Amino acid sequence: MAAIATATDIMTAKLFFNAAFPVMRVVLEDDPAMKARFAGVRAVVQIGAKNPGGDEGFLACHLVFDNGAFSVAQGPAENPDIALTFPTVAKMNTMFRGGAALPAIRGLGKLGTLVKVFSLLMSLMIMMPSSRPKDPGKQRLKVKMSLYMITRALSSYNKLGNEDMAEWCRRQPDRIYQFVVDGPGAEPAVAAYLRVKAGKSKSGHGIYARRSPFVLFHFFSVAGALKVLLKDVGFVEGVEQGCVEIVGSPEYAMYLNDYMSILQGMLT
């Protein structure tokens, strides 16, 4: 009998569902080849894992493709066209991190769509630490996807009930943590933010316009952002080397960096 998933396994799976999978939209919008590949595709693809004996016996989300539109819905689908089911949550997380694990597949009659979906799932591997693209377009894509994912993950970590993150959010009034990458390689600029207000949190893309940032992480180039995101340099060293400037509270910037490191460890 398979072991019941640990709390960390379940949290990691839900972070993939809530934070990493929605970032596939960036690939579908910014990668011309992938965009063309999914033009005209209409399908619901369920991805999940069994957890017999656990409080949640089956963890799943489903991807909805509708002729160029894309969304991620939490929970099982009513009648998916394709279903990818892993025997354990741990094995599902292993595949999401790029490891060797394969699901049972229902819906092989839609083989063409299945191949496309796997290619899209594999596109998430660009966010892994081992991925160091040389092409400038791919470098920008990696930075954009990584910032979108980590801001979503920070908000999800709070909403999914991590006690430390929840307490950190509860202690704060309405604050904006803004990430911006501009300069060489970032045309147009890449931006994402995390909003925290009295225990609630929300992530978003672009510049938050209704309030000045409490902390601004300003990267001066895609190359500088990559150095920090890949942990080739720490935040302090990144500031010293001119990769990034931090405007606002250095104490809260370091708190947020600590949570980002935890989440990157879980997801990559």
Q: Where are the domains of the chain?
A: 7-127, 136-267
Residue 68: per-residue pLDDT: 87
Residue 125: per-residue pLDDT: 96
103-127 residue pLDDT tens? 999 998 999 999 999 999 999 999 9
Domain 7-127 has CATH 1.10.260.40: no
7-127 and 136-267 agree in CATH topology: yes
- Let me know how long the chain is: 268
DSSP state of 108: G
Residue 235: per-residue pLDDT: 82
Q: Report which of 255, 231, 243 is spatially closest to residue 167, judged by C-alpha positions.
A: 255
195-229 residue pLDDT tens? 999 999 999 999 999 999 999 999 999 999 999 99
8-58 residue pLDDT tens? 999 999 999 999 999 999 999 999 999 999 999 999 999 999 998 877 889
Q: Using the predicted structure, report yes or no on whether residue 254 has a pLDDT greater than 80.
A: yes
Q: Using the predicted structure, report yes or no on whether residue 1 has a pLDDT greater than 70.
A: no
Pick the CATH number of 136-267 from 3.30.450.40, 3.40.50.1000, 3.40.640.10, 3.30.1050.10: 3.30.1050.10
DSSP state of 214: S
Cα–Cα distance for residue pair 72/74, rounded to 1 Å: 7
